[in-house]
Amino acid sequence: MADQERGNQFLRENMTMLTDFYELTMANGYFANGFADTTVYFDMFFRRVPDGGGFAIMAGVQQLVEYLENLHFTAEDIAFLRAKKLFSEDFLNYLQNFEFSCDVWAVPEGTPIFPGEPIVTVRGPVVQAQFIETMVLLSINHQSMIATKANRIVRAAQGRAVMEFGSRRAQGCDGAVYGARAAYIGGCCGTACTISDRRFGIPALGTMAHSWVQMFDTELDAFRAYAKEYPHQCTLLVDTYNVLKSGVPNAIRVFREELLPQGFRPAGIRIDSGDITYLSRKARQMLDDAGFEDCKICASNSLDEYIIRDMLIQGAQVDSFGVGERLITSSSEPVFGGVYKLSGVETPDGAIIPKIKISENVSKITTPCFKKLWRLFDRESGKAIADLITLHDEVVDDSKPYVLFDPEHVWKRKQVTNFRAVNLRTQLFAKGKKVAKERSLQEIQDYCRSQVDTLWDEVTRFENPHEYYVDLSQPLWDIKNRLICEHTM
């Protein structure tokens, strides 16, 4: 426990100044113009699922909570800003006495999410709500991107274990550490990143590199030495020289001569290069013929969901996968396009003035107002029917039929019955105080798996997935349409 707490401290450096500079210039301007205490609403949402997928996975919420809990300006921060000669002394005094006082709601980590949904909402003084934009986006964008990619890879593996092996190719320390966390949420069984085990309890996994084999006079000597040191979990890397002519035969010999006499069975072999589909089939036959049917085969080497899927279609005899660079960087689409937009301004008497951003690009038109996000589940199948965005004070009565309609093609309507309506978001902060209950990473991973299972297969396929419906309530659509007309006529 002491080690885990030290890991927590290592990653809890004060990140208050990790913000885009214009957040500070705007905050100073709001303060100068008398807006400092004006209550506003900001939403985070994203516009497109990475890799053309049907859904994304929410992640990074816990790191956002930790950031907001620790939000304060140090004397060094104030001195740095004063030296810029851009900010008033009144504003700097405000920052010196800064106390976070916003309300924050978010979709729980591990939840499938879809474009246009308010996955985070912040309500509070405009100086504060505006200032935290950078870290809201950084925390959620990065981990949601990795969790989404990991989930795709895990689903391609069809029940076989997937290990995250990407630390050395990650974009920096945080990319490795938090990437391992997000990959675990997405379904990976463990990581090569040791500090992520200490910090989050993600099982650290790994055996040997090719350099281990090269250090010894012969491959056989290297395998013997490893088997003697780790007889209870002996996995041998068999592709340093020749998988089928030396690697697998030497592994079999060591299993027989070193493990069996001690009462141990081999854990596995790993193939890291070559035609892994072909090599795994041949290796499987050799291991089975030698009486090691229980010896697992692990594959690594620049894998992704498509390569894994094709390998299995072609008959690869692989029991687990180690996936590195293409997972930890989400190299096929390394940007999760979450944005943070103003959706409302609260008057002194509590009324909310809706705010909208207009664009000729329809996907960039924002949805105004303080909102609530619902997911409708079919009571018979348990499958998700659609998501619904309503005004914050609307209640969806799931004891009665409800009419859904496409917000862009309003004539497309569907009446749903026998459904269950679930409010998707939970409150993280109330007036700046944390109110969210923290879940273990294992609980989040289990929750993610169960929630993905509520999606229809048509939504989860890799190519041309069915578009999951995200609809607006009639009152919310009316407000949005009115604002569009007012600003475009």
pLDDT at 13 over 80: no
- Look at residue 7 in the predicted model and tell me its pLDDT: 44
Using alpha carbons, list the distances in angstroms from residue 263 to 225, 257, 266: 17, 11, 10
pLDDT digits (tens, 9 = 90+) for 147-202: 999 999 999 999 999 999 999 999 999 999 999 999 999 999 999 999 999 999 99
Distance CA 239, CA 325 (A): 20
Where does the pLDDT of residue 40 fall: very low under 50, low under 70, confident under 90, or very high at 90 and above?
very high
Task: State the average pLDDT over residues 415-443.
Answer: 97
pTM above 0.85, yes or no: yes
Q: Which residue has the higher pLDDT, 91 or 5?
A: 91
* Mean pLDDT, the chain, whole residue set: 95
Distance CA 342, CA 367 (A): 9
Task: State the average pLDDT over residues 212-232.
Answer: 98
pLDDT digits (tens, 9 = 90+) for 250-268: 999 999 999 999 999 999 9
CATH topology of domain 10-136+336-371+422-471: nicotinate phosphoribosyltransferase (3.20.140)
- Look at residue 362 in the predicted model and tell me its pLDDT: 86
Worst-scoring range by mean pLDDT, 12-16, 39-43, 208-212, 362-366?
12-16
Using DSSP bridges, classify how beta strands 235-237 and 268-271 pair: parallel, antiparallel or unpaired.
Answer: parallel
- Look at residue 2 in the predicted model and tell me its pLDDT: 43
Tokens of 415: 């009446």
Using DSSP bridges, classify how beta strands 320-323 and 338-346 pair: parallel, antiparallel or unpaired.
Answer: unpaired
pLDDT digits (tens, 9 = 90+) for 93-111: 999 999 999 999 999 999 9
Where does the pLDDT of residue 139 fall: very low under 50, low under 70, confident under 90, or very high at 90 and above?
very high
Task: State the average pLDDT over residues 267-283.
Answer: 98
pLDDT at 431 over 80: yes
pLDDT at 9 over 70: no
Terminal CA-to-CA distance of the chain, rounded, Å?
62
- Look at residue 363 in the predicted model and tell me its pLDDT: 84
pLDDT at 4 over 50: no
Task: State the average pLDDT over residues 448-469.
Answer: 97
- Look at residue 215 in the predicted model and tell me its pLDDT: 98
Q: What percent of the chain has pLDDT over 70?
A: 98
* Architecture category of domain 207-301 in CATH: Alpha-Beta Barrel (3.20)
The three-point CA angle 386-119-164 to 5° equals 95
Distance CA 429, CA 68 (A): 9
- Residue-range domain boundaries for the chain: 10-136+336-371+422-471, 207-301
Distance CA 475, CA 217 (A): 76
pLDDT digits (tens, 9 = 90+) for 354-369: 999 999 888 899 999 9
- Look at residue 14 in the predicted model and tell me its pLDDT: 84
pLDDT at 3 over 60: no
SS (H, E, C) the chain: CHHHHHHHHHCCCCCCCCCCHHHHHHHHHHHHCCCCCCEEEEEEEECCCHHHCCCEECCCHHHHHHHHHCCCCCHHHHHHHHHHCCCCHHHHHHHHCCCCCCEEEECCCCCEECCCCCCEEEEEEHHHHHHCHHHHHHHHHHHHHHHHHHHHHHHHCCCCEEEECCHHHCCCHHHHHHHHHHHHHHCCCEECCHHHHHHHCCCECCCCCHHHHHHCCCHHHHHHHHHHHCHHHCEEECCCCCHHHHHHHHHHHHHHHHHHHHCCCCCEEEECCCCHHHHHHHHHHHHHHCCCCCCEEEECCCCCHHHHHHHHHCCCCCCEEEECHHHHCCCCCCCCCEEEEEEEEECCCCCEEECCCCCCCHHHCCCCCCEEEEEEEECCCCCEEEEEEEECCCCCCCCCCEEEECCCCCCCEEEECCEEEEECCEEEEECCEECCCCCCHHHHHHHHHHHHCCCCHHHHCCCCCCCCCEEECHHHHHHHHHHHHHHHC
Worst-scoring range by mean pLDDT, 7-11, 116-120, 169-173?
7-11
pLDDT digits (tens, 9 = 90+) for 282-333: 999 999 999 999 999 999 999 999 999 999 999 999 999 999 999 999 999 9
Q: At what angle do helices 89-96 and 21-32 cross, to 10 degrees?
A: 110
pLDDT digits (tens, 9 = 90+) for 61-72: 999 999 999 999
Task: State the average pLDDT over residues 360-384.
Answer: 96
